Amino acid sequence: MRAVRGNVPCGFWRLRSRFGALSLSPVIRFRTLGILGRRATALAAALLPLPALATDAETEKAFIMGLPKAELHVHLEGTMEPELYLAIAQRNGIFTPYATGEDVRDRLRAAHDLPSFIVIYEELIGAAQTAQDFHDIALAYFRKAHSQGVVYAEVYFDPQLHLERGVPLETLYAGLAAAQRDAREELGLEAHYILSFLRDRSAADAAHVLEASRPWIGDLVIGVGLDNPEVKDFPAKFEEVFERAGALGLHRTSHCDVDQADTIANHWGVIEKLKVERIDHGLNVPDDPALVAAVRARGIGLTGAPTLFYTEIPGRMAYRAGRIRQLLDLGLLVSVNSDDPGMKRSLYVGDLMERVQEETGMSRDDIVRLARNSFAIAWIDEAERAAYLGRIDRYLADREPT
Ligand code: ADE
Ligand code: ZN
């Protein structure tokens, strides 16, 4: 069992975890704690309904879920749960071969790598046609993320996928803006979007979508990124368009997937050619000491996302979670992120942190560091950063033993 720092004596934790919730009678519980000496009082207490005692795993889960955190690497389209896909397809009169959410999940299980997943991702997102659809996908994600402690999110979206199938940018952005407003009003969750260019499409296409998106740059779109499957020399291909994005005041990030051909060269490429402030995944950084030094010196954030095909590929989660731990131990600014939680059955970020802790034996302090890092590398001003970090401090202070 992993080490857990609680706010009651260790012996009590051991007792609780050994016997589990509800396994001790209330009388014995009170005696064990030495709180009540007199039998009559204990018996009276035994007659009162007592809440079940949480196991230490449950306590740790509640701690992680409530810990304020930012999500920085999640794909809007990939947050769509199969049931929402079916509802959207139905209301838009779009034919779907799937009768139930489970049918859609079966189809998704056929994906075994990023390219095969992207084929299905494109198929499913094809159901989204209206601003309402994009709003509903985003707001459903914000609600779910908020339930797991996310108070701030920067969300990737793929405008080219929608433009290619005839959905105007105005429709897409209207939906994103409405969801941003609703997340603020309903949840107090602050959200912005990262305009992503598809690495396997042309730089000219990317330049076009960037110029066409200029009216929404600002509060809505705050950065650009690169996603979809890696192609050879992708950093060089997008150098000019990233320079233009920088000139427009946009932040910059890019995927560098794990253990790809030319992985180290691509990491260097996105740093030196694209001038990124973050690398999405970036889990190969420890493989090159010079890269570690450069990432550290430039304060580049690494948005680890360990769940791609973790149910299909044995050892996948442990390997990637281990890499995240390694980056944390190196003192780099790594965070944990959910990537495509609706479609890929990857975990939402609270569940994910819990799983990463389980896989790596991280302490509670390590988990808090991951949460702090998520704000350290968020694209917010220093006053906002201080406010979010202060929320973590207050959360911890409220849980200190008195
Ligand atoms: N687009 C959607 N999900 C993606 C992922 N996990 N990696 C790269 N591009 C993506
Ligand atoms: Zn991703």
Q: The CATH number of the domain where 323 resides is what? A: 3.20.20.140
Distance 75 CA to ligand 1 centre (A): 7
Q: Is the pLDDT of residue 16 over 60?
A: no
> What per-residue confidence (pLDDT) applies to 28?
30
- Residue 3 forms part of a structural domain: no
Q: Is the pLDDT of residue 36 over 50?
A: no
Q: Is 255 in the pocket of ligand 1 (CB under 6 A)?
A: yes
Mean pLDDT of the 301-318 span: 88
Q: State how far the alpha carbon of 216 is from the alpha carbons of 162, 174, 191, 358, in Å.
A: 16, 10, 14, 41
- Residue 400 forms part of a structural domain: no
> What per-residue confidence (pLDDT) applies to 310?
83
Question: Which of 38, 59, 80 is the last residue before a domain boundary?
Answer: 59
Cα gap 133→139, rounded to integer Å: 10
- Whether residues 46 and 133 share a domain: the answer is no
Q: Which atom of ligand 1 lies closest to the CA of 227?
A: 9
Q: Is the pLDDT of residue 246 over 90?
A: yes
Side-chain-side CA neighbours of residue 183 (13 Å)? 31
Q: Is the pLDDT of residue 302 over 50?
A: yes
- Whether residues 48 and 80 share a domain: the answer is no
Distance 66 CA to ligand 2 centre (A): 24
Range of the domain at 130: 67-391
Distance 183 CA to ligand 2 centre (A): 22
The pLDDT confidence band at residue 112, using thresholds 50, 70 and 90, is confident
Q: Is 308 in the pocket of ligand 1 (CB under 6 A)?
A: yes
For residue 29, the Cα-to-chain-centroid distance in whole angstroms is: 40
The pLDDT confidence band at residue 309, using thresholds 50, 70 and 90, is confident
Type of residue numbered 189: L
Q: Which of 34-43, 101-110, 347-356 has the lowest mean pLDDT?
A: 34-43
> What per-residue confidence (pLDDT) applies to 402?
67
Average model confidence (pLDDT) for the chain? 88
Q: Is the pLDDT of residue 142 over 90?
A: yes
Q: Is the pLDDT of residue 21 over 70?
A: no
- Whether residues 116 and 17 share a domain: the answer is no
- Residue 396 forms part of a structural domain: no
Q: Is 228 in the pocket of ligand 1 (CB under 6 A)?
A: yes
- Whether residues 42 and 145 share a domain: the answer is no
Cα gap 111→76, rounded to integer Å: 19
Type of residue numbered 338: S
Q: Is the pLDDT of residue 47 over 60?
A: no
Q: Is the pLDDT of residue 1 over 50?
A: no
Cα gap 213→195, rounded to integer Å: 9
> What per-residue confidence (pLDDT) applies to 114?
92
- Residue 375 forms part of a structural domain: yes
- Whether residues 174 and 306 share a domain: the answer is yes
> What per-residue confidence (pLDDT) applies to 312?
82
For the ranges 14-18, 134-138, 307-311, the one whose mean pLDDT is highest: 134-138
Cα torsion angle, 348, 349, 354, 357, sign = positive
Q: Residue 336 is inside which H or E element, if any?
A: strand 333-336
Q: Of residues 91 and 306, which shows the higher confidence score?
A: 91
Side-chain-side CA neighbours of residue 89 (13 Å)? 21
Closest-approaching ligand to the CA atom of 228: 1
Mean pLDDT of the 22-33 span: 30
Q: Is 114 in the pocket of ligand 1 (CB under 6 A)?
A: yes
Q: Is 251 in the pocket of ligand 1 (CB under 6 A)?
A: no
pLDDT tens string 186-204: 999 999 999 999 999 999 9
- Whether residues 29 and 123 share a domain: the answer is no
Type of residue numbered 295: V
Report the residue among 71, 74, 117, 123 best suited for mutation to probe ligand 1: largest number of ligand atoms under 8 A from its CB: 117
Distance 194 CA to ligand 1 centre (A): 13
- Whether residues 122 and 36 share a domain: the answer is no
> What per-residue confidence (pLDDT) applies to 53?
64
Report the residue among 77, 108, 114 best suited for mutation to probe ligand 1: largest number of ligand atoms under 8 A from its CB: 114
> What per-residue confidence (pLDDT) applies to 264?
97
DSSP 186-241: II--EEEEEEEEETTS-HHHHHHHHHHTGGGBTTTEEEEEEESS--TTHHHHTHHH
Structure tokens given for 68 = 């304020």
Q: Is the pLDDT of residue 160 over 70?
A: yes
Pick from 87, 110, 86: which is nearest to 97 by CA?
86
Q: State how far the alpha carbon of 378 is from the alpha carbons of 104, 182, 252, 300, in Å.
A: 33, 21, 11, 11
Q: State how far the alpha carbon of 293 is from the alpha carbons of 149, 254, 302, in Å.
A: 32, 19, 14
Q: Of residues 322 and 53, which shows the higher confidence score?
A: 322
Q: Which of 7-11, 62-66, 116-120, 335-339 has the lowest mean pLDDT?
A: 7-11
- Residue 401 forms part of a structural domain: no
Rounded to two decimals, the pTM is 0.87
- Residue 4 forms part of a structural domain: no
The pLDDT confidence band at residue 179, using thresholds 50, 70 and 90, is very high
Q: How many helices (H) and strands (E) does the chain have?
A: 19, 8
Cα gap 371→129, rounded to integer Å: 35
Q: Which atom of ligand 1 lies closest to the CA of 339?
A: 6
The pLDDT confidence band at residue 12, using thresholds 50, 70 and 90, is very low
Cα gap 191→180, rounded to integer Å: 6
Q: How many percent of the chain have pLDDT more than 70?
A: 86
> How many domains does one find in the chain?
2
Q: What are the CB-based long-range contacts (under 8 Å, 24+) for 373-376?
A: 373/301, 373/328, 373/333, 373/334, 373/335, 374/69, 374/70, 374/71, 374/72, 374/152, 374/335, 374/336, 375/69, 375/70, 375/152, 376/301, 376/333
> What per-residue confidence (pLDDT) applies to 314?
87
Cβ–Cβ under 8 Å, residues 303 and 279: yes
pLDDT tens string 333-390: 999 999 999 997 769 999 999 999 999 999 999 999 999 999 999 999 999 999 999 9
Q: Is the pLDDT of residue 297 over 50?
A: yes
Mean pLDDT of the 54-61 span: 87
Distance 64 CA to ligand 1 centre (A): 26
Distance 343 CA to ligand 1 centre (A): 11
Distance 198 CA to ligand 2 centre (A): 12
- Residue 402 forms part of a structural domain: no
Cα gap 293→285, rounded to integer Å: 9
- Residue 24: φ, ψ to 5°: -100, 140
- Give the residue whose CA is nearest to atom 6 of ligand 1: 339
Contacts of 135 (CB under 8 A, 6+ apart): 174, 175, 176, 178, 179, 182
Distance 91 CA to ligand 2 centre (A): 28
Q: Residue 356 is inside which H or E element, if any?
A: helix 349-360
- Give the residue whose CA is nearest to atom 10 of ligand 1: 228
- Whether residues 182 and 202 share a domain: the answer is yes
Q: Is the pLDDT of residue 7 over 80?
A: no
Distance 243 CA to ligand 1 centre (A): 23
Q: Is the pLDDT of residue 249 over 80?
A: yes
- Residue 398 forms part of a structural domain: no
Burial grade of 248 (CB within 10 A; 0-12, 13-18, 19 or more): middle
- By the CB criterion, residues less than 5 angstroms from ion ligand 2 are 339
Distance 174 CA to ligand 2 centre (A): 23
- Whether residues 48 and 125 share a domain: the answer is no
Mean pLDDT of the 136-162 span: 98
Q: Which atom of ligand 1 lies closest to the CA of 308?
A: 6
- Whether residues 54 and 187 share a domain: the answer is no
- Give the residue whose CA is nearest to atom 9 of ligand 1: 228
Report the residue among 227, 260, 343 best suited for mutation to probe ligand 1: largest number of ligand atoms under 8 A from its CB: 227
Q: Is 75 in the pocket of ligand 1 (CB under 6 A)?
A: yes
Structure tokens given for 173 = 């952005």
- Whether residues 198 and 280 share a domain: the answer is yes
pLDDT tens string 263-272: 999 999 999 9
DSSP 93-123: T---S-SSHHHHHHHHHT--SHHHHHHHHHH
Mean pLDDT of the 246-270 span: 97
Closest-approaching ligand to the CA atom of 227: 1
Cα gap 118→197, rounded to integer Å: 14
- Whether residues 39 and 76 share a domain: the answer is no
Q: Which atom of ligand 1 lies closest to the CA of 77?
A: 2
